Amino acid sequence: MSTLEQALKRSKKLFVDGIFFEQLRNLVQIVTDSKNSRCAEDLVVYYTRGLSNILTELGIQTEIVENPIKNSPPFLIGSRMESPEFKTILLYGHGDTVPLQEGQWNEGISPSDLKIIDDKIYGRGVADNKGQHLINLLALHSVLRTRTKLGFNLKIIFEMGEEIGSPGLCELCEAYKEYFISDVLIASDGPRVAIDVPTIFLGSRGALNFELEVNYRSGAHHSGNWGGVLSDPGIRLSNALSTIADKNGKILIDNWKPTSLSSSVRERLNLLPNTISDTLDIDENWGEPGLSSNEKLFGWNSFSILALKSGNIDVPVNAIQPSAKALCQLRFVVGTNANEVISSLRDHLDQQGFTDVKIITENAINFQASRTDLNNVWLQKVENILEKFYRDKIHVIPNLAGSLPNNCFTDILEIPTIWIPHSYKECSQHAPNEHLPINLLESSLLLMTNLYWNLGISDHKN
Ligand SMILES: [Zn+2]
């Protein structure tokens, strides 16, 4: 009789025997920087040399599918059908990473190799997202090996373009809607709320980047000859920005505020720890007044100026600059009218007398916001299983504060989405020295082994 204990033991053994590290090393050694890859073939190697063995062992029939968007990286899709009577779980992961940032990591660590220092394991992609999907695949493997079946059907989607905005993912979901029919998405990305407490999030905030530009004339003009009679783009732009958010970061455009901070969302957020981070103090007075920090982060929208430019601050000259530019970003939760963000901004700037401030949206990163309902039955089911295993309350957040292409699953495939992150905020994701603590990897593998095991026994359709 096969038991959960045997499956957990099998997962534990992957760490003791070093197999987990070997597998992760193999994935990290395949450089998959989607921003700088020369061609799709460079990235497809991740499917063929990286994932194919484990997917074959899981009995998943896979297929590499051209990206519906030209010159964007292909997808890997797959299916393992055990029984039409069983529920179907969709698994997603992204094999691409941000640039390696070679030379900026601590001495002795190469981003394209695995390095264990003390109790942490370093390498590009360890946290985002190679290590996270490897955990899920190996957990499935332990369950399958132990009881020779999963007890549910499995569909998979892997992409190599998440770090460049997931081009074609929604189009793929549209084109393969039938193929991907599933009951739920269970996937892993992003950080936990607290390192030692399992977290579930149900979606993500959206993100919209755009530029504001004031461009009056060609060339700078000597401020001694022209100061006082030529309008200054830097002053105009900073005044325009000050009408979008006040001096404490509160958003001033009514149409940019969400309508979704309901009492049930608030209740969930109030159960979370107040400390956002152990290493960085937050600014209590920043953002929307009257909201808790968790409400600001997970239940509200935030406006940021990512970059600001007029003249050359390293080599300043006494001159009225010809132009000024700001790269701005709105992060937003569901319940924000995303399609009207830019038109509302235009109206607002016009009303405030800033018709000269141009909004540029070409090539802008644009993620939709999405969120599975807090009353969804899959949340209850997964939360129960995780809490039983963890023997305490876990953290549930309505959505990640960051952005993911989750709307492809909620809006196009129309399935609930349960994200179980295996990382933590201090993992240096997107920065040099990306890493995860070995403890966290190991406990996440056991958490997922237990989850898949239980989903496979309690979940058969009647
Ligand atoms: Zn990332």
Contact 429, 132 (CB under 8 A): no
From ligand 1's centre to the CA of 162, what distance in Å?
A: 7
* DSSP single-letter state for residue 357: -
Residues 317 and 334 in one domain: yes
Q: Where do we find the tokens 């399958």?
A: 144
> What would the pLDDT profile of 185-231 be if each residue is shown by its tens digit?
999 999 999 999 999 999 999 999 999 999 999 999 999 999 999 99
List the CATH number of the domain containing 352: 3.30.70.360
Same domain, 40 and 159: yes
Helix residue spans in 95-230 (DSSP H): 130-147, 169-175, 223-226
What string of H, E and C letters represents the secondary structure of 65-85? ECCCCCCCCCEEEEEECCCCC
Ligand 1 center–CA 289 separation, angstroms:
30
Q: Calculate how far, in angstroms, residue 103's C-alpha sits from the geometric centre of ligand 1.
A: 20
Query: Mean pLDDT over residues 382-410, rounded?
Result: 95
Ligand 1 geometric centre to CA of 402 (Å):
10
Q: How many domains does the chain have?
A: 2
CA distances (Å), origin 14, targets 136, 142, 240, 357, 361: 13, 9, 57, 58, 47
E strand spans, 266-347:
302-309, 319-320, 323-332
253 CA to centre of ligand 1 in angstroms: 29
**pLDDT for the residue numbered 1:** 62
Q: Using the Cα atoms of residue 43, residue 49, residue 53 and residue 56 in order, give the sign of their dihedral.
A: positive
For residue 361, the 8-state DSSP code is -
167 and 243 housed in the same domain: no
Q: Is 273 domain-assigned?
A: no
Same domain? 411 vs 427: yes
- Those residues whose beta carbon sits under 5 angstroms from the ion ligand 1 are 128
Contact 199, 428 (CB under 8 A): no
Tokens (6 digits) for 351: 């009303």
Tens-place pLDDT, residues 256-311: 999 999 999 999 999 998 877 777 788 999 999 999 999 999 999 999 999 999 99
Closest alpha carbon to 164 in 66, 45, 73, 93: 73
How far is ligand 1, taken at its centre, from the CA of residue 403, in Å?
9
pTM over 0.85? The answer is yes
Q: Looking at the structure, tell me whether residues 232 and 311 fall in a common domain.
A: yes
Residues above pLDDT 90, as percent of the chain: 92
> From ligand 1's centre to the CA of 96, what distance in Å?
8
Examine residue 195 and state whether it is found in any structural domain, yes or no. yes
**Which of 420, 422, 424, 410 is closest to 455 using CA atoms?**
420
Q: What is the span of the domain harbouring residue 103?
A: 4-204+369-458
What does the alpha-carbon distance between residue 333 and residue 292 come to, in Å, rounded to a whole number?
Answer: 16
Query: Does residue 141 lie within any of the structural domains?
Result: yes
Are 363 and 406 within one domain? no
